[in-house]
């Protein structure tokens, strides 16, 4: 049930000046990502500003991306919610629209217990047949899927196939990988930890960096898979300063600024997200120039 191996882009959502979705630009971004070697597109995740979209908009963007990609690479729909019923509804609609899988963030704000997380994910996954990747990002949601909980869900729910891990906790990730089998899909949720997670069995990354450097992010993973450990490590080190710049402010503030610096014209952000500061833009310009993409 492997969805993809390598670097999947957590795609930004471009907006017009009035805040509406710029679908012409979104189509361009999809084509650029595919041409750049991206292994999968994640629609309406954190980087895509799904939290500021209505449910109707959310699904419109997912459907548009699925149609634009047209089966060339997998499309994984971000359909998680702090409301189980909403997550089920978005997941069902995404399955009907032709998504290849769903990404399910932990229910934010509610601070569910581990038992609550199990019941939530059993309900969502049980309502669809699509492969489900859970998203563990406690810095944003206030709740952590513990390794034992993740292993239980993987072992007892057929279409829960893995996790995007943005805990930054290598010890916890290593424990998780000791509890599951080799078919479990671990994706790094932090671009600065791609190689460290590959070393414990990850299948790749769901990446912010890929928005500005799709080929290079893919190559970090591919070098590792090809046995070029030194090359993968050097590529990770080379990208590190740019990755830090892309997180100089809360994601996706810097990556949208970076894309605009590249002339992509993806527009602004929706409140409560704000424009990057001048100092962040200057840092991005400097690091992107050093990296060779500006």
pLDDT in tens, 228-279: 999 999 999 999 999 999 999 999 999 999 999 999 999 999 999 999 999 9
C-alpha 129/C-alpha 158 separation (Å) is 9
Q: What integer pLDDT is reported at residue 1 of this predicted model?
A: 53
C-alpha 257/C-alpha 266 separation (Å) is 9
Model confidence pLDDT, tens digit, residues 2-47: 789 999 999 999 999 999 999 999 999 999 999 999 999 999 999 9
Q: What integer pLDDT is reported at residue 2 of this predicted model?
A: 73
Q: For this structure, is 256 an active site residue?
A: no
What tokens were used for 155?
Answer: 């072992």
Q: For this structure, is 135 an active site residue?
A: yes
Neighbours of 262 (CB within 10 A): 15
**Annotated active-site residue in 135, 152, 154, 291:** 135
**Annotated active-site residue in 25, 164, 223, 281:** 164
C-alpha 235/C-alpha 280 separation (Å) is 23
Q: Where are the chain's structural domains?
A: 6-229
Instruction: Assign a CATH topology to domain 6-229.
Output: TIM Barrel (3.20.20)
Q: What is the pTM of this model?
A: 0.97
pLDDT class of 197 with cuts at 50, 70, 90: very high
Q: Which residues contact 294 (CB under 8 A, 6 or more apart)?
A: 261, 262, 285, 288
């Amino acid at each position: 049930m492997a969805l993809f191996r390598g670097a999947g882009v957590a795609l930004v959502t471009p907006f017009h000046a009035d805040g509406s979705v710029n679908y012409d630009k979104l189509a361009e971004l999809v084509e650029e990502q595919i041409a750049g070697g991206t292994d999968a597109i994640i629609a309406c995740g954190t980087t895509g500003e799904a939290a500021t979209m209505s449910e109707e908009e959310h699904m419109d963007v997912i459907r548009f991306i699925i149609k634009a990609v047209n089966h060339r690479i997998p499309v994984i729909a971000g359909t998680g919610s702090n409301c189980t019923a909403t997550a089920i509804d978005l997941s069902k609609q995404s399955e009907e629209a032709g998504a290849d899988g769903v990404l399910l963030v932990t229910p934010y704000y509610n601070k569910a217990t581990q038992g609550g997380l199990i019941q939530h994910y059993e309900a969502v996954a049980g309502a669809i047949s699509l492969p489900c990747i859970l998203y563990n990002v406690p810095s944003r949601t206030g709740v952590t899927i513990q390794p034992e909980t993740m292993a239980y869900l993987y072992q007892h729910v057929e279409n829960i196939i893995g996790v995007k891990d943005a805990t930054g906790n290598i010890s916890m990730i290593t424990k998780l990988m000791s509890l599951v089998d080799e078919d479990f899909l671990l994706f790094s949720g932090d671009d600065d930890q791609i190689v460290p997670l590959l070393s414990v069995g990850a299948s790749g990354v769901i990446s912010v960096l890929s928005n500005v450097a799709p080929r290079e992010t893919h190559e970090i993973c591919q070098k590792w898979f090809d046995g070029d450990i030194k090359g993968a490590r050097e590529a990770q080190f080379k990208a590190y300063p740019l990755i830090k710049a892309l997180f100089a402010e809360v994601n996706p503030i810097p990556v949208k600024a970076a894309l605009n610096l590249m002339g992509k014209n993806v527009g602004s952000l929706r409140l409560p997200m704000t424009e990057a500061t001048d100092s962040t833009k200057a840092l991005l310009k400097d690091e992107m120039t050093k990296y060779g993409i500006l």
